[in-house]
Amino acid sequence: MPQQITVENLLEMSQRIKTLVEDGLVFAVQEDQGGIRSSRITLENDQIYMYCLQDQPPPPHAHTLQVSEVLGAMDPSSTLVHLDLAWGGSTRGRVHIRLSPNTPAARQFVLLCTGQTGVSYRNTKLHDVWNKGEPGECVWGGDYEGKGGAGGAGIIDIRGGPYRESGRAGAVWWWYGAAATAAQFTIATRDWQGGVPVTNVFGEVVSGLEVVRAAANHSDITQVTVVDCGIVLNQ
């Protein structure tokens, strides 16, 4: 039977808990109508990662805590998520994104990085590059329905909220064209020059921008996959 631990246990990271995490024996779980789903928790470079929920229970001897308790203990004013990008048969790097507090698009991004509603960015493709090689270059992704950029329906209403403008590389923003694509996101890989900065910015890449730039330079952006995603718990 899985053994319960607390969020405080995890964040304090005693030697016992550290050993359990390093041995792959700590999972966050969520139970819904489909059964028990689980998310692996890892310790990497002193950061605690909770990965996207998978449609399977934790191992029989795992130590568990509830996803809702984990997220409820986090500071909503400082949320750090990650996307792992791969192409050419290998993972190329991790992109950390600091989300702006109190914006609905940021809340939606967390839901899609953790998979709490049953859908996520895991195994989605990037599907377009705008202004390739030019100022304002950016990549576009988030179609979790696999419709090549025509899908990715919003899971909450992201209109309104204190969004900001930015003309800098690393800005993460959304273009609200229709509810059918409202879960899609855009990451700027080059500064805008002499133009109007983008609006609806809800996050910023704090590390791994070189990985996104490399993806933008790939010969076929649709071969770039978000192979995993999640949230950093000790931010």
Residue 135 is encoded by which pair of tokens?
């100022």
Q: Which domains does the chain carry?
A: 3-72 (no CATH), 79-232 (2.40.100.10)
Residues above pLDDT 70, as percent of the chain: 98
Q: Give pLDDT, residue 51.
A: 98
Phi-psi region of 209 (alpha: psi -120 to 50; beta: other; left: phi over 0): alpha
d(C-alpha 209, C-alpha 212), whole Å: 5
Q: Give pLDDT, residue 198.
A: 87
Q: Give pLDDT, residue 88.
A: 94
Q: Give pLDDT, residue 230.
A: 98
Unique residue bearing structure tokens 């997220």? 71
pLDDT band, residue 154 (cuts 50/70/90): very high
Long-range contacts at 40-49 (CB < 8 A, ≥ 24 apart): 41/10, 41/233, 43/13, 43/18, 46/234, 47/232, 47/233, 47/234, 48/10, 48/11, 48/13, 48/21, 48/232, 48/233, 48/234, 49/82, 49/230, 49/231, 49/232, 49/233
Give mean pLDDT, residues 38-55.
96
Q: Is the pLDDT of residue 5 over 60?
A: yes
Cβ–Cβ < 8 Å for 175, 130: no
Give mean pLDDT, residues 88-94.
95
Unique residue bearing structure tokens 């999640």? 230
